[in-house]
Structure 1
Amino acid sequence: MKRFLHILTTLITGLFLTVQLSAQCTPDPACLDTLQPGEYCPQDFPPLLLDLPYDEVITFILALELEYDGTTYTLDSIAVDSVRNIPPGLTYSSSATGYVPDSAYCSQLSGTPTQAGEFPIAFYLEPFVDFGSGPVSLGQFMDDTSVVITVYDPTGIEPRQADQFQVLPVVPNPFSEITRISFYTPYQDRVSLQVYNILGKLMYEETQSASSGEHQFVFNGNELLPGTYFYRVINSRNLYTGKFIKSK
């Protein structure tokens, strides 16, 4: 099912292609499928935040082959008969209702999410293959494991910077034992915390793998002497520096 799930990936980033037909979106000509495994653009999507307007156009290109029920087929086309469990407040539109390999399509996800949470999307799909006498349906089936849309409650996050890495205020600061350094990442990444004393000596370091959303480092300063310390929060693209005070 790996190649078939890849087809689903290109479809889901088109986000529910038959829910509503629309000519408003245009495929991005810069999105190319050079090795023909299927493609979608952009690779990093702006996150969905509760009660904040969202509008994103996705370009996708269907893969040439699919693996279905243990057999690899050359794909003629694929139809998305229906999609269910769409987050409340959002609508979807597409530039087409049927999809063939090696052609660029687009879809648009827009609206204002009204409910936070995770939404496993159920796709009702019908792939077609051609054995020489015309397209033949492989039958409809339902997939509800490939795509989960998450709508985040943006507590403490700057809405206008929701597509950027953010480090939130240290709470509490000053602190006597435990403090929390929270951060928000719009994409999956590895994020590190480093703590230095005023002489620049590294006192503590921790790294975590973070999915898209809000996370935190829970820092235990029991072994630190009272005083001022500097910290760095580092991801693959940014470095943020701040300071906190360890009290008695």
Structure 2
Amino acid sequence: YTSPGSGTGTQIKDIPVYHGFQTNWVQEDIDLSTYAGQQILLRFIIKSDDYVEYDGWYIDDIRVYQYSLEESVIKSHEPQISYRFHLDQNYPNPFNPVTRISYQIERANQVNLSIYNLLGNKVSEPVNSFQQPGEYSILFNLNAVSPTPGSGIYFIVLKSGHGQLTRKMMILK
């Protein structure tokens, strides 16, 4: 997720800042016209909290180019991203107390993501909302569930108008 920098601390005002968990490549165009004719250095900095367990990030296909707006015709072609109805295996698994659950929705629909115990009792319902097509990711935190589930096998169930998917996960205490 990208947002403009606030200009406080080490952030440069209005320069993109990325935060949250992303599963897709992000294309970013940054206008450097205010630096035309000057020598510039490009710098990439990653900062993180202690929770991150995945790779940081990847940078690919950096291009610096010059063009004249008066001589250019700009056409915007929005890429067609196709999603499928899919539920990833939670990670980490087994876990205690937090795990990430990621899924994709193929078309706009009411989406329900629930956690069930082996007896079929619903333990938690972290998602129950209308969602647009796309990739989603949530952090499931045992400490937010009351009563706190015990160690054992549980099922993640994703339901939408497209069907139902289930994954098994294990809580270790």
> TM-score scaled by structure 1?
0.36
TM-score, L = length of structure 2 = 0.49
- Normalized per residue, the structure richer in strand is 1
